[in-house]
Amino acid sequence: MPLAAQELYPTSFTVASHAVLDSVRRLGIDVVEYAPAETGGGLRVVAVLGADEERALAARGVTTQRVVLSAAARLLESRRIALGARAFTVFRDYDDSTRGINAWLRAFAAARPGVTLDSIGATVEGRPLLVAKIGAADDTPARPNVFFVATYHAREWASTEMALRLLAWLADSLAATPAGAALLAARDVWVMPVANPDGYQYTFSTTRLWRKNRRPNGNGSYGVDLNRNHAGFFGRDDAGSSPMPGSGTYRGTAPESEPETQAIAAFHRAHRPDAAVSYHTYAGAILYPWGHENGALAPDQPLFRALAGTALAPAIPDRLPGSTRARYSAAPGWQLYPTNGDYNDWAYAEFRTAAFTVELTAGCCDGGAWYGFEFPDEEAMLAQLFRDNLAFALGVLEGAGSLEAATGPGGPALPQFEALWPAVRVLVPNAEVSATVQLALDTGVLRTVAVTSDWEGRGRVFTRLVGAASGSSGARAARAGSDAGSPDLVREALARAGAESESMAWSGFTRAPGGAEGSWHWWTDGACAGTPCAAPVLASPRIGVAGRSGLMLHFWTQHSGSLFASAKRGVVELRADRGAWVPVAEVTGSAPAWYPLVVPLEGAAGADSIELRWVADGMGWKIDAITLTAPGGGLFTAGRSATEPAIEVSQNPVRSGSVTLRWAPAGSGPAQVFIYSLFGTPVAGATLLPDPGRWMWDVRTRGLPVANGAYIVVVTRGDGRRIRRRLIVAH
């Protein structure tokens, strides 16, 4: 039976790992959801399959089971089969001469002088591709363009309704207020409710879960996935899109092979968007570039986080009745799953558009039953979905006027050091691309680091500069600056921790080989233990921060969660001065590659000491290269005083198997002792709580005797003051 005539079903099955899931995608399977299985380990996967694909999986030993929809969804589907578009109260098809999208848009624009309707092209089957413009009909470069688009995927009706409601609100409600009218007068705002009219109409007339357009592929199959057909990273691999015409994620024969993507590309060249939102269903997430490669971070991370928020505090709440979550997740697109040829990465790569994909929540809420793409045809629920998403859409509209100064739930978009080690990574404004980076090592040496822009080049606002992946682990501070006029960006490391030394006063997760830096990292599978069941925790010692403000936490991470299972997550918590633990960051989604995370610690303001912990709530989690930093430029000031308390040693040169270090303890925090080579490479270390004023070093590193030569001893006392001296080893 040709795929074009097959019915498609939401179907579940279990795979052993993310690697197996990747293999399933490479078969062209239309995977739409995955999450850790409740029992037996592995991942529970939901895919939209035809009978042929069910048989293909069965031949590979995969047992599938069709998902049982809610009673309301089953009733609505039976009505659709019998009545077509006439079965629905709120949803509307494309072609109906009275209620259809085409007719509705034309009538809506005709009744409003502030709305202009344009056809930017035609589909495979000849339907018009309609875009509505709110505001002045002319197009001037002085006004930033903002583009809202929906229904790349035909079955995602809730996204269509979101775009229609947004258009109506912009034209009728926002425009009716003086401030709103002024905002619209300063923007060119475009709304494209249906990017895939042919496929959308087909979901009403024939196959409800159809995804692609209706291109005849010549082998009995139909359709190209328009959100895999854009020129950005087209066909990068066969997991992010499929080369097989029968697949739901078929990318087409070439970039922009389809009239729909050709029209959208031509529109973008004529009206280059400063910001854009593409609406989909149903993950409950705000996604931003990059999406094509695990671990890849676009240089405009501060901009994206400012507008979208973070996983802990995203821009969009989820207030649907009965929803299993309270908020959407905000993350790079690959944390849902890697894609290529999609709108987000293409618009950002080619036009440096601040592009977001909003995956509307629609996976649960009908009495707790799953309905996935088949969102209820209920005005109250669709109205709530729109209200939840409105503030983010308005934030993007406002932010487009000055993306350099954008601010939102994630705070202002500011330059920042992403990491001080194992490689220094700094995000600087594009005007500062010639910035130099200097490190102050624990040895007292100031070193200028050769940095280059990473392979993605400049973003819309920021450029990422990356130094060599060696020599920065001994960095006590880092400074980035240029002659472009902006103040230097300076961060001082108050504490550093990896999993290299078992003597360090960190507890909880297991030390495991490999990592972002060195030979070890911290790891947990996320399984709780004990009675009552307690989540695994990686806990820091107490760290003295008296007199310091503007604290930030930097660390590298991998995790094996899912954006579809927000209850399975990792949470970073802060405790100031032995008070209550408060969450400061959250990670969800799948991250099989190491990437750096930066967390502001506003809750540490005014504290004398802090503690940090990483709580793995049902999710596998890896942590490495932790750094706590604060602003500070004194280490780079010429002529600073070299007077500091002494470190006494039991022998120097060291000729026996151990040496005892002594200093005057001070303060209530822990002491940290590190031994470095003259090149700044960590050799040994310990965290001591409370500060005992002494430590014995066995003159070994990773279990082996150190080589003869000069070393630097650095002690951070309990009051946060650092002292150092040189030590000679001569066995």
Beta-strand runs (E) in 50-167: 65-66, 115-122, 128-134, 145-150
Q: For residues 362, 364, 366 and 370, what is the CA-based torsion angle, rounded to 10 degrees?
A: 110
Name the DSSP letter for residue 56: H
Cis peptide before 422 (omega within 30 of 0): yes
Residues 6+ apart with CB under 8 A from 29: 47, 49, 53, 57, 247, 248
- SS3 annotation, 401-451: CCHHHCEECCEECCCEEEECCCCCEEEEEHHHCCCEEEEEECCCCEEEECE
Q: How many CA atoms lie within 13 A of 353 on its CB side?
A: 29
Phi and psi for 383 in degrees, rounded to 5?
Answer: -65, -40
DSSP line for 135-187: S-SS--TTSPEEEEEE-SSTT-HHHHHHHHHHHHHHHHTGGGSHHHHHHHHT-
Q: Is 359 a catalytic residue?
A: yes
Select from 461, 458, 462, 464 the least CA-distant residue to 423.
464
Among 359, 432, 500, 586, the one annotated catalytic: 359
d(CA 290, CA 673): 39
Cis peptide before 692 (omega within 30 of 0): no
Supply 120's token pair: 């930017």
Query: Parallel, antiparallel, or unpaired for β 364-366 and 648-649?
Result: unpaired
Whether 297 contacts 290, CB under 8 Å:
yes
- Total residue length of the chain: 731
Using alpha carbons, list the distances in angstroms from residue 506 to 49, 331, 521, 622: 47, 28, 12, 14
d(CA 446, CA 437): 11
Q: Which residues are annotated as catalytic?
A: 359
